[in-house]
Amino acid sequence: MRRGVQYYFVECPELFDRQELYGTRTGDYLDNAERFALYSRAVLEAAKQLGVPDVFHVHDWQAALVPVYLRTVYAADRCCKGPR
């Protein structure tokens, strides 16, 4: 924890243990769609365990599936009804 902010990490070495975040000098990782779809699901599953926030800040394409999942996969999940 630093300055009152607690950090959580997604551990999935086969998708996230990489030299760079999004790709290499030659281009994006070919499995980026799968990687960040898993990330979005991990965020929602973690929120169910830690406490669902009032707002999910999905500021780039890597987190863009969070609101899609909230309206589809998690639509019937009572735990995820409140966030905007």
Residue 59 lies in a domain: yes
Residue 61 lies in a domain: yes
- Cβ atoms of residues 81 and 48 within 8 Å: no
Share of the chain above pLDDT 90, in %: 69
Range of the domain at 26: 13-80
Residue 74 lies in a domain: yes
Residue 71 lies in a domain: yes
**In the block, which residue shows the tokens 């607690």?**
6
Rounded to an integer, the average pLDDT of 36-55 is: 93
Residue 8 lies in a domain: no
What's the confidence (pLDDT) of residue 70? 93
Q: 52 — alpha (psi -120 to 50), left (phi > 0) or beta?
A: beta
Spatial neighbors of 37 by CB under 8 A, at least 6 apart, are: 65
Residue 45 lies in a domain: yes
> Residues of 30-58 as b/e, b for ≥16 C-beta within 10 angstroms?
eeeeebbbbbbbebbeebeeeebeeebeb
Rounded to an integer, the average pLDDT of 37-44 is: 96
**Number of domains the chain contains:** 1
pLDDT band per the 50, 70, 90 thresholds, residue 1: low
pLDDT band per the 50, 70, 90 thresholds, residue 49: very high
| pTM for the model | 0.85
What's the confidence (pLDDT) of residue 84? 67
Residue 65 pLDDT greater than 90, yes or no? yes
